[in-house]
Amino acid sequence: MALKVYVDRMSQPSRAVLIFCKVNGIDYEEILVDISKHKHVAPEYKAINPMCQVPTVVVDGKFKLFESHAILIYICCAFPGVASHWYPSDPFQRSKIHSVLDWHHSNLRQSAGVLVWNTILAPRHGLPLKHPLVAEESEKLLVRSLSKLEDFWLKDGQFLVVSSQPSIADIRLVCEIMQLELLSEKDYDRILKPYKKVVQWIEDTRRATAPHFDEVHGILFKVQKRLRKRMATEPVNYNHLKSKL
């Protein structure tokens, strides 16, 4: 089966799909859709994914699929040799994986990336920010989401569903949280450090998917270094931005 994976490694769901493929020895071709160069809205990519988002996979040149959760589930089912803990066939465990992935859509997904975009990436790129309230609301939702991870989803074990082994949900949600690495060290620590189980779970997922986790996140850490260096010399005055809006 020929698998083409259209991604931008600066996108959290793209990273999740890449790490998963690498960990499971899936043979694929990685094709960069450079969002910073607006390649995701180019007509040739629109023909592959009319939603203009990454990732997308194309199987045998014919079957096109987008949405990272759907892609991860598809690969688990279509490619032989994927260990069962990634997407267990037990109906209760499988349902829990669907449940946590669905929960993720309206919680972490609506908060971590939105916060990073509206406080760090957009102002740094000179792009228009949404109303400052969006950043405030997304931080509130992020804190509520982290609390639910700490007190509910991670209460029974090391990982989200299959207590001692990672599933596709662990990779996907941890990749989302990793976007917070682009915040200043102070903000990152302030937001994330109170959640001990979450911090440990990120580390456990990283170890369980080594060395691919760090390799795929390489570009994120490169951008982090550049951003934090700039933050040290020319800090973003968020109040100043507010008055502009």
Contacts with a copy of itself by CB under 8 A lie at 50-51, 63, 65-70, 73-74, 77-78, 91-92, 94-96, 98-99, 102-103, 105-106, 109-110, 130-131, 133, 137, 148, 151-152
Distance of closest approach, residue 156 Cβ to a copy of itself, in angstroms: 13
Pick 137 or 215: Cβ nearer a copy of itself? 137
Distance of closest approach, residue 83 Cβ to a copy of itself, in angstroms: 19
Pick 35 or 223: Cβ nearer a copy of itself? 35
Pick 96 or 217: Cβ nearer a copy of itself? 96
Start-end of H helices in the chain? 12-23, 43-46, 68-78, 91-106, 112-116, 122-124, 132-148, 168-178, 185-192, 196-208, 212-216, 218-233, 238-244
How far apart, in whole angstroms, are the C-alpha atoms of residue 169 and residue 109?
A: 13
Pick 55 or 123: Cβ nearer a copy of itself? 55
Distance of closest approach, residue 142 Cβ to a copy of itself, in angstroms: 16
Q: With b meaning 16 or more CB within 10 Å and e meaning fewer, what string describes 30-43? A: bbebebeeebbeee
How far apart, in whole angstroms, are the C-alpha atoms of residue 219 and residue 212?
A: 13
